[in-house]
Amino acid sequence: MATRTTTRTTTRSTPRAGAERVDAREKVRGATRYAADDARPRMLHAALVPSRIARGSITRIDSTAALRLRGVRAVLTHENIGAFDTGGFLMGGGFGFQSFYPLRSAQIAYRGQSVAMVVADTLEAAREAASLVAVTYNAIPFVATLDAPDAEPLLQSAALPQPMFADRRVGDPETALKTAEVTVDMRFELPAQHQNPMEIIATVAEWQGDMLTVREPTQNAEGVRHGLAKQLGIAPAKVRVLSPTLGGGFGQKNSLQSHTALVALASRSLGQPVKLVMSRAQLFHNASFRPASRHRVRLGAGRDGKLLAAVHEIDQQTSRHDLFPSLGTEVTSRLYGMGHFLGRERLVRTDVQTPGYMRAPFEHPAAFAFESAIDQMAHELGRDPVAFRLANDTMADPLTGKPFSSRHVAECLVRGSELFGWARRSAAPRSMKASDGSLVGWGVALGIYKAAMAPAIATVRLNADGTVRVAVGGHEMGQGMRTAIAVTAARALGAPVAAIEVLVGDTDAAPQHVTAGSWGTATVLPPVLEAAQRLMDDLQRNAAATTGATATENGDTSTALSMLRASGRPFAQAESRKRAPGQPEQVFGRLTGGLPAAAGPEYPDFVSFSTIAHFVEVRIEPTTRRIRVPRVVSVADCGAVASPRTARSQVEGGVVWGIGAALREVSEVDARYGGFLNADLAEYVVPVAADIGRIEVDFVGKPDTRFNALGVKGLGEVAMVGVAPAIVNAVFHATGKRLHRLPVLLEDLLGA
């Protein structure tokens, strides 16, 4: 179990710049309404009953005692809920984080799975009644971990025969490894982790006639809408999903959840609105998580410091009912220029809910393994780890040979070195000490993450009272999307940021493509900008026509509002639709159908990635081996920086996540019982403010205009890629001990 440290380092950060968050005031005053804050007249409360076994079936459910409790209105089980459809699996043409939907049968697929849902007049009655539902099971043997003797890895390329899941092969890596002058062969392990957003998942369902309104924090309102319609057998037009603000998504909220239809069904049968708020423990078992993985990385290089070949093999946990694919080598194949590469992924079935996307889902684990091996190779070659990386950079994609739309790995490394003071590092492990005797280590690692885009439709409407309404498909989960949209629209219209109302996360406002994969900004800003520019053009043409002269000579065209007022029209409106480079027009059908439609990193003419270099100092207390991270310097290339304040905040958050991943976070499994043991925030240890020292963030800031008109790439996930290996590489520099398993625990360093 990880140990909580209480460092006294001051929390400092580089100065902030840019517009304030448009939702900041609401947030700090507690005025933001989250789904669980919602209260409808006559609203009922629901509570889930979790399975106590990891695999098998329900032989008997007795709800008598639960129903006797005052205020209990119903206990829904597979025996009485009636038939309802599945919402399918996101990675299999459907909408859900998994294909398994509890209460459709007596089957138990994982510990913590819902076996019943109680509905009552009050939350207290619902929760107490849930504890009184008596369930008898027929338990059968199960597999809890990757290492279980009967957990067989499946080759992903064979199990999922689609190009994106295939082995990634360039040249002849096996032969190149055999003939390389220097090789490393290393294995790494990473645990399951849970996203643990501050806001837990909650659902409020309300029917008005045959119209269903669902309020739920989701990154994918359109997917929830279409998935629910399928499950309930109603038209998508009869469902509205509202998710205007999330208190963190991190991938856990990127698809249809298994409980949402249960809440809608309960509300329909009882004729009253129903609210379900999961408990934190239930979040560990009823939503997705980062799967455990193990990695083997083999590298070959010449004595001259040139990397020649790499083989990266990944085993990743999946569920028994779904194959959740791994894309780890999508990034590690693009980190360095090498003529020979093999990336191979295997999936291991375990009896859990289907794992899913957790911030940098594959990229963080893959980079931990690969960048640790790169650090070891630099050490064996006697090269400086920054110089070694610079010498092996590439300006063409090693897999496809296409150019990158932009790539600034070298600038991230060089600028980061300068800001960090890397030149003062003494190369040998254990050669730097602090005045209190602590071992000091300086480590570096790279992160890259695909630059993706999804289709989006934006409308911008300007009213004569000066208010502007921007509607687009996207979700505000704290990352700052609303701010980036408002700033972009305000600048284009010459309007104050405060005049802009941003409508996102509402299926009535615009089709709401899933906001994930760091494609949010690159997806929403180009159509918002184009719609605003069209609105300006329209007003300028109108002004020119009515005055019979060019607008610039005769009217005030400094702002959209002055032109609108001069025209006498009550409002002006414009629309724009954008899709990723190379996407066909039909992709809008997937968008409006609630299906994922993002593209990247490969486009017809180029390959696109965001990049980051992290420089980390660790200090290791000599007797207790307590590890602290007093300072981090991170230099990112995300193309143009759309919103400096929220961008900086994204990177700081990503670094904190990396510190958590390296030193704290693990979802513990007891192989005898399955499920996750430390299912609360006391035992699932995340970094606290006292664990965080100085985080200095800088951006390359060069627009990638090959990628889109604004030149913006993604940032939310690349921010955490490479933080963990930079920390572990710093620990190696401090101690001479190479660590292969995350999180790093104090006992790993005893004797070092």
Alpha helices in 454-514 (DSSP H): 481-493
**Cα Dmax for the chain:** 85
Please count the residues of this chain forming the interface with ligand MOS, following the rule CB under 6 A: 11
Q: Which among 245-253, 425-433, 444-452, 624-632 is the span making contact with ligand MOS, rule CB under 6 A?
A: 245-253
Q: Which window, 226-234, 246-254, 377-385, 459-467, contacts ligand MOS (CB under 6 A)?
A: 246-254
Residue that has been written with the tokens 């032109």 in this structure = 563
Residue 520 and residue 713 in contact, taking contact as beta carbons nearer than 8 Å: no
Binding part of the chain for ligand MOS, among 126-134, 247-255, 583-591, 735-743 by CB under 6 A, reads: 247-255
Contact 204, 273 (CB under 8 A): yes
Give the dihedral sign, CA 524/530/531/533.
positive
Minimum distance from CB of 717 to ligand MOS (Å)?
6
Give every strand in the sheet of 202-208, ordered side by side. 72-77, 114-120, 44-50, 274-277, 202-208, 211-215, 239-242
Query: Residue 94 or 693: which CB sits closer to ligand MOS?
Result: 94
Beta-sheet pairing, 274-277 with 44-50: parallel
Is-contact 487 642, C-beta < 8 A?
A: yes
Q: How far is CA 724 from CA 292, 366, 372, in A?
A: 15, 11, 9
The binding track of 334-363 with respect to ligand MOS, each residue x by CB under 6 A or -, is -----------------------xxx-x--
Name which of 50 and 520 has its Cβ closer to ligand MOS. 520
Tell me whether residue 130 or residue 246 sits nearer to ligand MOS (CB atom). 246
Going by DSSP bridges, is the β-strand pair 44-50/114-120 parallel, antiparallel, or unpaired? antiparallel
Site string for ligand MOS, 459-498 (x = CB under 6 A): ----------------------------------------
Is residue 254 a contact point for ligand MOS (CB under 6 A)? yes
Catalytic residue among 216, 345, 363, 717: 717
Distances (CA, A) of 693 to 519, 633, 684: 29, 11, 21
- C-beta separation of 394 from 553 below 8 A: no
Nearer of residues 111 and 359 to ligand MOS, judged by Cβ: 359
Shortest CB 86 distance to ligand MOS, Å: 22
Residue placing its CB nearer to ligand MOS in the complex, 362 or 676:
362
Task: Please state, in angstroms and rounded to a whole number, the distance separating the CA atoms of residues 371 and 590.
Answer: 37
Q: Is 219 in the site for ligand MOS (CB under 6 A)?
A: yes
Whole-angstrom Cα distance, residue 270 to residue 477? 32
CB of 640 to ligand MOS, least distance (A): 21
- Which one, 213 or 218, has the nearer CB to ligand MOS? 218
Active site includes 189?
Answer: no
**Minimum CB distance to ligand MOS, residue 598 (Å):** 9
Q: Is 57 left (phi over 0), alpha (psi -120 to 50) or beta?
A: beta
Whole-number Å distance between alpha carbons of 613 and 696: 12
CB atoms within 10 A of CB 542: 18
**Contact string 179-218 vs ligand MOS (x = CB under 6 A):** ----------------------------------------
Taking the complex as a whole, the smallest distance from the CB of residue 249 to ligand MOS amounts, in Å, to 6
Contact range with ligand MOS by CB under 6 A, out of 123-131, 249-257, 425-433, 550-558? 249-257
Q: Which is nearer to ligand MOS, 87 or 361 (CB)?
A: 361
* Piece of the chain touching ligand MOS by CB under 6 A; list 244-252, 322-330, 371-379, 537-545: 244-252
Measured between alpha carbons, how far apart are the two ends of the chain, in Å?
19
Determine the 3-state secondary structure of 493 from DSSP: helix
**What is the rounded distance in angstroms from the CA atom of residue 62 to the CA atom of residue 134?**
5
How far apart are CB 653 and ligand MOS at their closest, in Å? 13
Judged by beta carbon, residue 265 or residue 656, the one nearer ligand MOS is 656
Piece of 243-251, 306-314, 419-427, 627-635 that binds ligand MOS (CB under 6 A): 243-251
> CB-wise, 97 or 606, nearer to ligand MOS?
97
Distance (Å, whole) CA 91 – CA 109? 19
Q: Could you tell me the smallest distance in angstroms from the CB atom of residue 735 to ligand MOS?
A: 32
Q: Quote the least distance from Cβ 220 to ligand MOS, whole Å.
A: 9
Provide the strand spans (E) within 528-608.
571-578
| Shortest distance in whole angstroms from residue 685 CB to ligand MOS | 21
Spell out, one character per residue from 80 to 119, where the chain touches ligand MOS: x when CB under 6 A holds, - when not. Answer: ----------------------------------------
> At which residue do the structure tokens 């971990």 appear?
145
Decide whether 275 or 450 has the Cβ nearer to ligand MOS.
Answer: 450
Phi and psi, residue 411, nearest 5° = -65, -40
Each as own residue / partner, the long-range contacts of residues 388-393 (CB below 8 Å, 24 or more positions apart, any chain) are 388/305, 389/336, 389/413, 389/444, 389/446, 390/414, 391/305, 391/306, 392/305, 392/306, 392/307, 392/336, 392/337, 392/338, 393/336, 393/337
CB closer to ligand MOS, 324 vs 615: 324
**Pairwise CA distance, residues 665 & 122, whole Å:** 35
Q: For residue 714, count other CB atoms closer than 10 A to its CB.
A: 26
Query: Which residue in the set 191, 455, 517, 722 belongs to the binding site for ligand MOS (CB under 6 A)?
Result: 517
Q: How far is the CB of 74 from ligand MOS (least distance, A)?
A: 34
CB of 659 to ligand MOS, least distance (A): 18
Q: At what angle do helices 260-270 and 221-232 cross, to 10 degrees?
A: 50
List the interface residues with ligand MOS, window 361-380 (CB under 6 A).
361
Residue facing ligand MOS at closest CB distance: 251
Alpha-carbon span 425 to 386, nearest angstrom: 11
- Cα 661 to chain centroid, rounded: 14
| Active-site residue set | 717
- Interface residues with ligand MOS (CB under 6 A) are 219, 249-251, 254, 357-359, 361, 516-517
